[in-house]
Amino acid sequence: MENFTPYSALAGGALIGIASAMLLFFNGRIAGISGIMNGVFFAPKNDRTWRLLFLAGLVAGGGLLQWLVPGFNVPRQGYPAELLAIGGFLVGVGTRIANGCVSGHGVCGIARLSIRSIAATLTFIAAGMLTVYVIRHLSELTA
């Protein structure tokens, strides 16, 4: 195992859970980030402002932690840009076809005990594991 960080993972996860619960309790909305991102362009006009605010909050929250603990996260350097570009495109296509990503299906969906979300989560984790196996161990695309 490499650089296992159980405490910051549990604490960060709890913050994510609190954030999702807040949004549902006060506003009745699900914190599914791919859906929120998509709606910035594709939701009805009167349903767009909150999405931009949530996304701005994501950036502000990341910035806040980095400001409190400088250097806590360091951007990765030197990763093949084509893997990012193609990977990002597939993330966009896949999350639209499956109606959700790790936050929507993996956190909010499983928290609602949705069997559909559990199936989606197991599928994208399995596909992710298989892809990393191919990229890291069968090819030499990344170290």
Partner 1 sequence: MKTYAITFLSGILFGAGLALSHMIDPNKVLNFLDVTGRWDPSLLFVMIGALAVAMAAFRIILKRPAPLWSGSFQLPQKTAIDPKLIFGAAIFGVGWGMSGYCPGPSVTGLSLLSRESVIMVLAIYSGFFVTHRLLDKP
Query: At its nearest, how many Å lie between partner 1 and the CB of residue 137?
Result: 6
Give, as ranges, the residues between 58 and 117 that touch partner 1 (CB under 8 A). 58-66, 72-76, 79, 81, 83-116
38 binds partner 1 (CB under 8 A): yes
Per CB under 8 A, 23 contacts partner 1: yes
Contact status: 138 vs partner 1 (CB under 8 A): no
Instruction: Confirm or reject binding of residue 46 to partner 1 (CB under 8 A).
Output: no
Give the tokens for residue 70. 């400088």
- Are 143 and 80 contacting, i.e. CB atoms less than 8 angstroms apart? no
Q: Report the distance separating Cα 60 and Cα 92, nearest Å.
A: 23
Min separation Cβ 140 and partner 1, Å: 13
CA dihedral 11, 17, 20, 24 (to 10 degrees): -140
Interface with partner 1: number of residues (CB under 8 A):
110
Using CB under 8 A, which of 45, 46, 70, 137 touches partner 1? 137
- Rounded CA-CA distance 72/60 in Å is 15
Retrieve residue 90's tokens: 């597939």
